[in-house]
Amino acid sequence: MSIPFGQAAARLKRPEFLLLCVTTAGLIAWFFATLPAPLRDADQIANTTILLGVLAFYLVFDFRPKFAETDQSFKPTLGWVAAGILLAGLSLLIPPGFESIFAQFAAICCFLRATGGALLDPSGTRLLNALFIAFAVFGALLVSLPFLDYPLRIIAGRWSAQIFDLIHQKTELGFVVQNDVPMLLLSVNGRLFHVAAECNGFGLLGTSIIFTSAIVFYRRVSVFDSILLTVAAAFLALVGNLFRILIIISLAPLVGEHYLLMHEIVGTIMFYGFLGIQLWLIVGFGRSPRRTDDVETP
């Protein structure tokens, strides 16, 4: 499909569109500047952000949206703008914390949705709403990371210890305090492993849930099947992280000084392997057609 660059350029030059872009960019800069350093620097968040961009590219490429006519009204986007302003104001009124962070991010989502709605033809509503869902879920997961970190670590540590016990390995799991910081340690045959933040599986869990929630909406999967796929996403993420830990611990005595390299290789393979399984499950639940005007007729 040819892209009408002239039409797109004319739309991009509209003052209303430029104002939306500037406001959205300002909200993003404000959000990043006020985001707590532990969240801003978390590897899981950075990786999920990159994959969120990949998801957005895939959905846009698959849907192939039309650009809006130059003189198309901006009124349909005003509701999203109003919601964004309300949420931004709310984030200033409530006490600083994770609620205010989510309100900030939700405001960004609303302005991104308004910007997309101002640029694209109304036929792209399904695409824009799917992207809005993906970004909103990302924001919810972002603020939940501090609450989920240790519970996910404990789940991973306990499941790993139980499996090694089943195969008659000498295993211990417990907390130690070092420099006033609690550390969850897993001992397997006398070898100690720190169940650190990167062991919580949040990256795979978050990415799987984001991809699932966006794609099931985009493809108009039924409510029941959507619930099944979301539960499957969470289950596969936990199992994938467990397999990653088991393989790393099993290989650790064999790789010597190359432990960190092995850790990264196994982690990458398991992450994309189980994410691929989840995407395969989603594809199996059907694929809605593109816009009707893209479908060829005999």
**What's the pLDDT tens digit per position in 77-121?**
899 999 999 999 999 998 888 889 999 999 999 999 999 988 888
Same domain, 105 and 122: yes
Residue 41 lies in a domain: yes
Same domain, 46 and 70: yes
User: Can you tell me the mean pLDDT for 276-288?
Assistant: 77
Residue closest to 114 by CA, chosen among 66, 70, 65, 76: 76
Same domain, 16 and 93: yes
pLDDT per residue over 264-275, tens digit each?
Answer: 999 999 999 999
pLDDT of residue 8: 59
Same domain, 231 and 133: no
Residue 296 lies in a domain: no
Number of domains observed in the structure of the chain: 2
Same domain, 112 and 176: no
Residue 214 lies in a domain: yes
Same domain, 125 and 218: no
pLDDT of residue 239: 93
DSSP at 14:
-
What would the two tokens of residue 109 be? 């989502």
**112, 145, 178 — which closes off a domain?**
145
DSSP at 177:
E
* Res. 255: pLDDT tops 90: no
Determine what percent of the chain is predicted with pLDDT higher than 70.
91
**119, 145, 171 — which closes off a domain?**
145
Of the listed ranges 22-26, 285-289, 291-295, the least confidently predicted one is 291-295
**120, 145, 170 — which closes off a domain?**
145
pLDDT of residue 178: 75
User: Can you tell me the mean pLDDT for 198-205?
Assistant: 88
Residue 115 lies in a domain: yes
Same domain, 156 and 129: no
Q: From residue 86, how far is each of 2, 29, 264 by CA, in Å?
A: 38, 18, 43
pLDDT of residue 6: 55
DSSP at 69:
P
Same domain, 67 and 93: yes
Query: Given strand 171-178, what is the order of strands in its sheet?
Result: 171-178, 181-188, 191-194
Of the listed ranges 67-71, 123-127, 259-263, 285-289, the least confidently predicted one is 285-289
* Res. 228: pLDDT tops 80: yes
Same domain, 160 and 235: yes
Confidence category of residue 297, pLDDT binned at 50, 70, 90:
very low
pLDDT of residue 38: 78
Same domain, 13 and 126: yes
98-121 burial, b at 16+ Cβ within 10 Å, e below that, comes to: eebbbbbbbbbbbbbbbbbbbbbe
What would the two tokens of residue 169 be? 């390995």
Same domain, 137 and 154: no
Residue 289 lies in a domain: no
Chain-centroid distance of CA 165 in Å reads: 34
The domain of 71 spans 5-145
The rounded distance, in Å, linking the Cα atoms of 210 and 157 is 25
Residue closest to 111 by CA, chosen among 19, 32, 13: 19
Residue 292 lies in a domain: no
pLDDT of residue 287: 55
Same domain, 258 and 198: yes
Q: Are 13 and 90 in contact (CB under 8 A)?
A: no
pLDDT per residue over 13-60, tens digit each?
Answer: 677 788 888 999 999 999 988 888 878 777 888 888 899 999 999 998
pLDDT per residue over 164-185, tens digit each?
Answer: 899 888 888 888 877 777 888 8
Strands 191-194 and 171-178 come out as unpaired
* Res. 5: pLDDT tops 70: no
Residue 288 lies in a domain: no
Residue 91 lies in a domain: yes
